[in-house]
Structure 1
Amino acid sequence: MPMSILSQLRNLAASASLALLAAPAIAAAPSADLKPESGTVKLGMQPWLGYGQWYVADEQGHFAANGLQGVELINFNEDKDMNAALASGRIDAGNLATHTAMAMVSAGLPVKIVMLLDQSTSADALIVDPSIKTLADLKGKAVAYEEGTTSDILLHSALAKAGMTLADIRPVPMPASSAGSALIAGQVPAAVTYEPYLSVAAQQNPNIRTLYQGSDDPGLISDVLVVRDEMLQKRPGQVLALLRSWEAAYRFYQANPQQGQAIIARGVGASADELDSAFAGVKFYSLADNQRDLQVQGEFINTSMRHITKAAGDAGLLPQPVSPAQLLDTRFVEALK
């Protein structure tokens, strides 16, 4: 998220301020037997397989089974467009990278994280040619990566682990789709990218290896469901039904992985074969995972938030740190225990 996006977030927050002033306080903890309110839920999406259980829920009828009158999956190509839609109320909820959600809350947008969706374990990685043996070898070397994205976050995490900063390398900004190609062509000795570009690079040059990946800083590269405060206040039954639908889809996926992967691949516009290694590098979160990790002493609050705050702050992607109370509304996952 480049600085221009941060400016956009601040402007969007300012435009939403009057609505925030008029909004009632967050309602009391929802009861598990609360029925969904009437109306269609508008859910913002991007073509990333980590959001895939929504495609499963849609195709398998889980939304209707959990009492929702309708869920419209609305695709966006860029974060800035989803940010604007969330701020204006054109969508009710959105699926975002965790650092993007934190930046939105930091800028004052009226949203909360209600559920962890997925984390990348090996689907995002720093890959290198044989000249790079350790993270320390990156010093003074050219590294290709896309600014303002999860690649940016992962690179800062890797550098911090080696006691370095961006000033210690030669940054080569470019789209993630081009970073692996630059490494293969010998233009750079290191690149940060994600699937399916990682698999393409490995297939074209077997000497390329992974030096650092999402699992080296668990939860750093992850995605969350954010919901507008207005929906949390006025339609808590729909929020509960969404979480139940994700869980139903998750269980279907666990029981029928090939069918589930085929559904998700269609949803993101690819074939299951193209995404085979990508699926292997992504962990989906269940409700039980959420109930464990979103506790005060849980992994997300205790570890992931701190690491994301540092990496996003170092990358200039987080205006100021946010607290768990500002960022999270855990009442819904707790109600479904």
Structure 2
Amino acid sequence: MKLRILAISIAIFMLIAAGCSNSSNEGAKDKDGGNANGDTQTIKVAVQPWVGNGPFWIAEEKGIDEKHGIKIETVPFEQDSDMNAAFASDKVDVANLATHTTIRMKSNQDLDMKAIIFMDESHDADAILATKDIQSVKDFKGQKVAFEEGATSELLLQQALSEEGMTLDDVETVFMPAPQAGLSMISSDVKTAVTYAPYIKEVLDKKKDEGVHLLYTGNNSPGLISDIVVGKTKFFEDNPEAKESLRAVWDEALQYWRDHEEEGNEIVAKGSGITADELPSILSGLKFYNSEEQSEKVSSGELRKAAENIQKLMLEGGSMKNEINLDEIFDME
């Protein structure tokens, strides 16, 4: 009986020792950033059907993420509000947000977060369209203007108006999603609308003969419309390698797209819900940034200047409660 008890005791001791040994190795990182047993960290990335997210879709498709010790899981959302809520409540780890959205969330919700990648900047991919009888922003006064409230469209409109000493109070606002804003131009319900690609081309193709034209675009205010990768500060503190891994994945996937344009376009078109034929016209209005290009934008002060302007517009428009310290959210050098 005593021998049996002794044998059981020894067996239990050996099991505990083995468990402790495994625990001591759990989470150990290999040279590529994964676990010693080959596991990789899954990072949930909130995205919308927008081509600016292209490099992350390519990374998923081609396994570029796992080369850098992480597994990217893109989580799709249709509406800004749903994606923002998921990020704020930690349903996702990081989110690909518009720069102005990030600044507003910091002000209104006091989220402790860091922007780590400057993804892209809109040039002609966001625009204000107008009928032939409206030839300047001053002509907007008293007119119906269709745009999506709280989105990049509103920011672009605010910028255009502010340059003429005007505000949203000078126009008759018609709130609707950006795709519907474009359709409202096609149906002649409004004379002015703010939308983005590919809806810009759709409106111009159908209404150009009637004099509908581009009146103001992101090119008129560089850096105003841009996208960034944002994560909670605590997430990066708990996962110290995630920041550099995400940057490395972004850079390699973006370069893969540049080197394999046709294949990359197919992947990105699928992710954004359009055809590959529609993509070139959208991409012509966008500029993507890798880490080196991003660093130049930061060191030159361009990013800071654009962020200050964005904050000013939102404070004036009332969509932000309080001014924030912009240095607290940008971590891109």
Report the TM range for the smaller structure's normalisation.
0.7 to 0.9
Unpaired runs of 5+ residues, structure 2, are: 1-30
- Aligned equivalents of 2:297, 2:324: Cα separation in 1: 18
**Matches of 2:134 and 2:83, distance apart in 1:** 38
Counterpart among 149, 152, 166 of residue 150 in structure 1: 152
C-alpha RMSD of the superposition: 1.8
Q: TM-score, normalised by structure 2?
A: 0.84
Partners of 1:135 and 1:159 within 8 A in 2: yes
* Pairwise CA distance, 1:108: 1.0
SS state at 1:112 partner: strand
Aligned AA (1:81): D
* Percentage of pairs with the same residue: 36
Cα distance change of structure 1 residues 323 and 183 upon mapping to structure 2, 3 Å threshold: same
Following superposition, the deviation at residue 174 of structure 1 comes to: 2.1
239-248 or 182-191, larger mean C-alpha shift:
182-191
Q: SS at the partner of 1:236?
A: coil
Number of the residue aligned with 1:124: 126
With over 3 angstroms needed to count, the CA separation of the structure-2 counterparts of 1:329 and 1:36, relative to structure 1, is: farther
C-alpha contact (below 8 Å) 1:156/1:314 kept by paired residues: no
Letter in 2 for 1:80: S
Q: Which amino acid aligns with 1:125?
A: A
Match of 2:297 in 1: 293
1:245-260 equivalences in 2 (<5 Å): 245-260=249-264
The equivalent of 2:21 in structure 1 is none
Tell me the equivalent position of 2:50.
48
Q: Secondary structure at the match of 2:160?
A: helix
Q: Is the 8 A contact 1:45 1:76 kept in 2?
A: yes
CA shift, 1:256, in A, is 2.1
**Offset at 1:35?**
3.5
Number of residue equivalences: 296
Query: Residue 139 of structure 1 corresponds to which residue in structure 2?
Result: 141
- Tell me which amino acid in the other structure corresponds to 2:57: Y
Check if 1:99 corresponds to 2:100: yes
Encode CA deviations 1:158-197: one digit per residue, 9 max, x unaligned.
0011111112222222221222222233222211111111
2:174 corresponds to which of 172, 175, 180:
172
Q: Paired residue for 2:187? A: 185
Alignment-derived partner of residue 14 in structure 1: none
- Distance in 2 (CA, whole Å) between partners of 1:273 and 1:319 is 42
Residue 254 of structure 1 aligns to which amino acid in structure 2? R
State which of 272, 285, 294 in structure 2 corresponds to 1:281. Answer: 285
For 2:82 and 2:284, locate their aligned partners in 1 and report how far apart those are by CA, in whole Å: 29
Q: Secondary structure at the match of 2:282?
A: helix
Instruction: Spell out, residue by residue over 1:5-63, the C-alpha distance to the aligned partner (whole angstroms, 9 max, x if none).
Output: xxxxxxxxxxxxxxxxxxxxxxxxxxxx9935752111111111111110111112211
Structure 1 counterpart of 2:231: 227
Higher relative contact order (CA 8 A, sep 6+): 1
Q: CA deviation at 1:81?
A: 2.5
Q: Measure, in 1, the Cα distance between the counterparts of 2:46 and 2:189.
A: 37
TM-score (norm 1): 0.83
Q: Which has the larger radius of gyration?
A: 2
1:311, 1:120 → 2: CA distance? 18
Take 2:66 and 2:186, find their aligned partners in 1: how far apart are those partners?
47
